[in-house]
């Protein structure tokens, strides 16, 4: 069991707990989860946040991108993850074209919460009007800036975002607007570490990074990437923790420890 997991008094984490961790300077650990068995293992290792990501389209379904993932897929996987979770906070992705307009987004978010057991939903992009509407309905929202996998057919490739001064200023401005719209968490993906640090320092909500440097309030990885079992080219920002562990549980515990102690991500995992 991880030194960061206290299962003697199991208490489900809330967004308030995560906000207090940011205020206290305690790093937030997060991994993706897609089924009950992994959810139990990650939960027992003390992972703070389980993200049921639409990345399941690629790592579970074998799709070329996240775009084919449906709402029914997301509800199913969120439901089975929630069955295996006792202490971690659960965030579920709104998949491609499930949040194009405010009412649609709210109705689909409600399904992920009511049927799936999610504590919060995540949507890609600076959709401030939609975020504001969902928050008004009592839906906790996590936003996502930087690299946006659902826009792959527009961008044509997965690439670092916010490298140029103008682009960085736009990402920072979007982050501020997202917080003002009522989002309670932000994930930043594949942006320069200096920009991610600036965003984390300026926002009062927790900022979780993936390929965004060590100075975010927490880190998230695709669990299959950090276990070295994803197929194809490995992202620069990930690390195979199975190389230093004798079990999956040991690898997860090492990841949690390195996030908490700001060992991961190192410079070689950052942009």
Domain ranges of the chain: 15-269
Tell me the pLDDT tens digit for each residue of 11-22.
999 999 999 999
- 189 assigned to active site: yes
In angstroms, rounded to a whole number, what is the distance separating the alpha carbons of residues 266 and 101? 39
Degrees, nearest 5: CA angle 171-176-180: 145
pLDDT of residue 95: 98
pTM, rounded to two decimals:
0.96
Domain 15-269 CATH assignment equals 3.40.50.2300: no
List the catalytic residue out of 107, 189, 201, 261: 189
In angstroms, rounded to a whole number, what is the distance separating the alpha carbons of residues 106 and 85? 24
Tokens (6 digits) for 181: 């719209």
- b/e per residue 5-41 (b: at least 16 CB within 10 A): beeeeeeebebeebbebbeeebbbbbbbbbbbebbbb
| Nearest of 137, 122, 110, 130 to residue 220 by alpha carbon | 122
pLDDT of residue 7: 52
CB 111 within 8 A of CB 94: no
CB 80 within 8 A of CB 35: yes
pLDDT of residue 234: 87
pLDDT in tens, the chain (271 residues): 666 665 556 899 999 999 999 999 999 999 999 999 999 999 999 999 999 999 999 999 999 999 999 999 999 999 999 999 999 999 999 999 999 999 999 999 999 999 999 999 999 999 999 999 999 999 999 999 999 999 989 988 889 999 999 999 999 999 999 999 999 999 999 999 999 999 999 999 999 999 999 999 999 999 999 999 998 888 999 999 999 999 999 999 999 999 999 999 999 999 9
């Amino acid at each position: 069991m991880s030194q960061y997991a206290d299962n003697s008094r199991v208490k489900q984490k809330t967004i308030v707990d995560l906000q207090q961790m940011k205020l206290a300077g305690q790093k937030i650990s997060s991994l993706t989860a897609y089924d009950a068995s992994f959810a139990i293992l990650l939960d027992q290792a003390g992972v703070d946040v389980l993200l049921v990501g639409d990345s399941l389209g690629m790592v579970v379904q074998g799709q070329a991108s996240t775009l084919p993932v449906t709402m029914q897929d997301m509800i199913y996987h969120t439901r089975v993850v929630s069955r295996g979770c006792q202490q971690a906070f659960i965030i579920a992705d709104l998949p491609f074209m499930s949040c194009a307009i405010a009412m649609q987004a709210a109705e689909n978010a409600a399904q992920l919460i009511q049927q799936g057991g999610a504590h919060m939903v995540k949507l890609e992009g600076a959709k401030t009007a939609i975020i504001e509407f969902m928050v008004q309905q009592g839906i906790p929202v996590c936003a996502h800036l930087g690299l946006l996998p659902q826009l792959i057919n527009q961008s044509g490739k997965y690439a670092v975002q916010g490298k140029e001064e103008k682009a960085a200023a736009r990402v920072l401005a979007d982050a501020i607007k997202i917080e003002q719209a009522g989002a309670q968490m932000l994930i930043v993906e594949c942006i320069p570490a200096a920009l991610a640090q600036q965003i984390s320092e300026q926002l009062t909500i927790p900022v979780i990074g993936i390929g965004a440097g060590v100075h975010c309030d927490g880190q998230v990885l695709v669990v299959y990437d950090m276990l070295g079992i994803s197929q194809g080219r490995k992202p620069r920002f990930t690390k195979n923790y199975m190389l230093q562990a004798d079990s999956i549980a040991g690898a997860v515990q090492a990841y949690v420890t390195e996030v908490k102690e700001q060992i991961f991500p190192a410079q070689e995992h950052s942009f």
